[in-house]
Amino acid sequence: MSDDTTTTEAETEAAPTDEQRDALVERFREALGDAVVDAEVLPGKDVWIRIATDAWAESAEVARNRLGARYFGFLSVIDWMPSPFGRSMDSEVDRVLAGESAPEPPAMEQGVTGGSTRFQVLARVAHVGHPGDFWGVTLKADVPDDSLTVDSWVRTYAGADWHEREAWEMFGVSFAGHPGLRHLYLPGDFEGFPLRKDFPLLARQVKPWPGIVDVEPMPGEGDSDEDGEGAES
Amino acid sequence: MTAITDRQKLQYIAAQAADARVNVELEAEGMTLNIGPQHPATHGTLRIVARLDGEQVIAAEPIPGYMHRGYEKLTEVRTYAQVTALVNRIDWLGSFANEVPFILAAEQLMGVEAPPRAQWIRTLLFEMARISNLILFLGDMAVQLGAVTPAFFAFRDREYVLDQIERVTGGRFHPNFDRIGGLKDDLPQGWLADTKATMDKVRAFCDEIENLLMGAEIFQARTRGVGVIPPDVAQQYGLSGANARASGIDWDLRRDQPNGMVYPELDWKVWTHPDGDSFARFWVRLQETREAANIVEQCCDGVPGGPIMAKVPRIIKVPAGEAYVSTENPLGEMGYYVVSKGDLTPFRVKIRSASFNNVSIAPWILRGVYVPDIITILASLYFILGDIDR
């Protein structure tokens, strides 16, 4: 409400020390105990916390009501499966769709804070206090491979409604306790889950990738490895 | 051509009467009103289905998706440099602002930082994008209230800003100008002076709009106390930008998280309004347009010399990692969650667009309002369809 001019206060926030973020992780640990599986702090930039799947709804409760992260940023899903189409960024066609044998896909590898399942749900919440008092955190949780279901956040953050509907139709991940998982973007009879890695992007099949020119290496650089393939076309 | 007999006329009247009876019956149980997907008040193809009781809305459900372009999927087959061309089209009225958070996220992953001159010009263009976006809002809001003139003023004066953007980037709407590590080109000669002159026109436009609208009785009656959003609800739904500030939340990412921009070095002010109604949202945006003009002027004065590109490899491979960077875009918080596996393309990009959250509050806020207020409330929330549908 205050209309304070605050360019000065930005300085205090611009240097959020590691201690602040470490302390934040500690507060999550205190509140959730063992449910905090892993955490990573990128000093001065960001913090990620991975929550056990069972405690996903509880973590929202803790973040909002106990730690004051009342601002809901977004909620989404990551599909960690490597593309089965051999669509390495430099291949001109999706090899599987073109009838060629797929190259051996690299092993599935989860990103920051690790994980063990194909799908992970992630959400961003933030605390917005008086001017300059602002922090954000990315929460993650594994989505069980068999049930593909995690608890819904709608009860805690009403804004999670649309985000979960989107995640549900795009990735096929269900949210237990959501008041109405129905299509948001896609037509009701749409089949498949478009943002999954194994959902083919047909536009890539019928046309060569427009980016192929940019991948062409300069003479003398990007010699033999994957950069080179593009240049031959 | 045959003459219409009296008998036919009677039949017609009877049929009309029968229809009217049906309508009456429907109304008793609640009528369903469909707005869109093609409707001038929705700035694109947003469809709203409202169940009415008389003139009052019982429940309203926005239905997006008529323009979904699947950018999150497409980014997975584009190099980092190409992604900016896509994301330009998310909020098409403030295109340059869409590129910046993505580039900043990529820069964070790569550990590069743009040289100071590039940071200043980035900030400059970012605010110009904000002005060109908000000017249209200020004119459009009036249209939704039945006043057509301000829209013409808006389109006229926005063009001065777009001309300046075009002189630098070559594109009025889709600059595609931001690069990892800096900018595509330097500023043309004489541009800074002309831009400062343009800012006077922007201020004159703001004054004009204020004089035309703010005191008008109709404007006040249609916006004051209409569509009130309490701060806590706003935060739960993730409302950001001017919508949040109009609910009294003193939060601006330009001030609170100025990564890669020069806002801390400038003298400017975050405007908030305690009311949270449609009027407050209009008022905050009006002040923000003026503030953005101030920022642009300061940037024009402050742009240092030096290179506009940091040293980056020609073929950009972003090291494996994850980064979420968001900036204060004209519509609110816009962020990209970029997951890289060390390849030429992102592994996954989650686009957190402001309008998506800003409109998701619609079912909550439209409950109980009167039909004409649907239009003004949505107009004051200010969304761009491309920003919802991505």
In a domain, residue B29? The reply is no
Distance CA(A155)–CA(A153), nearest Å, equals 5
Interface-testing mutation among A110, A124, A216, with chain B (most B C-beta atoms within 10 A): A124
In a domain, residue A222? The reply is yes
In a domain, residue B26? The reply is no
B150 lies in which domain range? 80-354
Specify whether A126 is located in the same domain as A61: yes
Number of domains in chain B: 1
Specify whether A125 is located in the same domain as A28: yes
Specify whether A36 is located in the same domain as A104: no
The closest alpha carbon to B196, from B95, B285, B301, belongs to: B301
Specify whether A210 is located in the same domain as A166: no
- Chain A hits for B257, CB-CB cut-off 8 Å, are 13, 134
User: Mind telling me how many Å the CA of A54 is from chain B's nearest CA?
Assistant: 23
Helix (H, G, I), strand (E, B) or coil at B94: coil
CB A91 within 8 A of CB A83: no
Specify whether A93 is located in the same domain as A124: no
For chain A, give the DSSP string: ------TTHHHHHH---HHHHHHHHHHHHHHHGGGEEEEEEETTTEEEEEE-GGGHHHHHHIIIIIS---EEEEEEEEE-SPPTT---TT-SS-TTTTTPPPPPPPPP---TT--SSSEEEEEEEEEE-STT-EEEEEEEEEE-TTT-EEE--TTT-TTHHHHHHHHHHHH--EEET-S----SSS-TT--S-TTSTTS--HHHHHS--TTHHHHPPPTTSS-SSHHHHHHH-
Q: Do B82 and A211 touch (CB under 8 A)?
A: yes
Specify whether A30 is located in the same domain as A60: yes
Number of domains in chain A: 2
pLDDT in tens, A136-167: 889 999 898 888 899 999 888 888 889 999 99
pLDDT for res B42: 60
In a domain, residue A189? The reply is no
A137 lies in which domain range? 1-80+117-183
User: Mind telling me how many Å the CA of B77 is from chain A's nearest CA?
Assistant: 6
Please report, as a single letter, which amino acid is at residue B312. V
Interface-testing mutation among A38, A70, A74, with chain B (most B C-beta atoms within 10 A): A74
- Chain A hits for B314, CB-CB cut-off 8 Å, are 218, 221
Is the pLDDT higher at A207 or at A121?
A121
In a domain, residue A190? The reply is no
Q: Do B251 and A158 touch (CB under 8 A)?
A: no
Output the domain CATH number for residue A27.
3.30.460.80
Least confident of A29-43, A77-91, B178-192: A77-91
Is the pLDDT higher at B359 or at A224?
B359
In a domain, residue A188? The reply is no
Q: Phi, psi at residue A153, to the nearest 5°?
A: -100, 0
- Chain B hits for A210, CB-CB cut-off 8 Å, are 82
- Chain B hits for A217, CB-CB cut-off 8 Å, are 315
User: Mind telling me how many Å the CA of B199 is from chain A's nearest CA?
Assistant: 22
Q: Do B324 and A138 touch (CB under 8 A)?
A: yes
Q: Do A215 and B79 touch (CB under 8 A)?
A: yes
In a domain, residue A191? The reply is no
In a domain, residue B385? The reply is no
In a domain, residue B256? The reply is yes
User: Mind telling me how many Å the CA of B389 is from chain A's nearest CA?
Assistant: 8
Output the domain CATH number for residue B275.
1.10.645.10
- Chain A hits for B81, CB-CB cut-off 8 Å, are 214
Least confident of A40-49, A218-227, B288-297: A218-227
**Which of A2, A46, A214 is opposite residue B250, by nearest beta carbon?**
A2
Cis amide bond preceding A179, omega within 30: no
> Least CA distance to B232: which residue of chain A?
A70
Q: What tokens does B104 get?
A: 């900043």
Specify whether A134 is located in the same domain as A177: yes
Q: What is the mean pLDDT of residues A7-34?
A: 68
Helix (H, G, I), strand (E, B) or coil at B50: strand
> Least CA distance to A200: which residue of chain B?
B73
Q: Do B65 and A45 touch (CB under 8 A)?
A: no
Helix (H, G, I), strand (E, B) or coil at B43: coil
CB A76 within 8 A of CB B356: no
Specify whether A73 is located in the same domain as A99: no
Burial of A68 (0-12, 13-18, 19+ CB in 10 A): middle
Specify whether A66 is located in the same domain as A108: no
Residue A1 has pLDDT above 50, yes or no: no
pLDDT for res B23: 44
In a domain, residue B60? The reply is no
Burial of B342 (0-12, 13-18, 19+ CB in 10 A): exposed
What does the mean pLDDT of chain A come to?
Answer: 75
Tens of pLDDT along chain B (390 residues)? 566 777 777 777 777 665 554 444 444 457 888 887 776 666 677 888 888 887 888 888 888 888 888 888 888 877 888 888 888 888 888 888 888 999 999 988 888 888 999 999 999 999 999 999 999 888 888 888 888 888 899 988 889 999 999 998 888 888 888 888 888 888 888 899 999 999 999 999 999 899 888 888 888 888 888 889 998 889 889 898 899 999 988 888 888 888 888 888 888 888 999 888 999 999 999 999 999 999 999 988 888 888 888 888 877 788 888 899 999 899 889 999 999 887 778 888 999 999 899 988 988 998 888 888 888 888 888 888 888 888
Residues forming beta bridges with residue B349, ordered by sequence position:
B338
pLDDT for res A2: 42
Percentage of residues of chain A with pLDDT beyond 70:
70
**Which of A6, A194, A215 is opposite residue B255, by nearest beta carbon?**
A6
Specify whether A5 is located in the same domain as A16: yes
**Torsion angle, CA of B317/B320/B322/B324, rounded to 10 degrees?**
-20
Chains A and B: how many Cβ contacts under 8 Å? Answer: 168
pLDDT for res B222: 87
Specify whether A75 is located in the same domain as A24: yes
Q: What is the mean pLDDT of residues A162-178?
A: 90
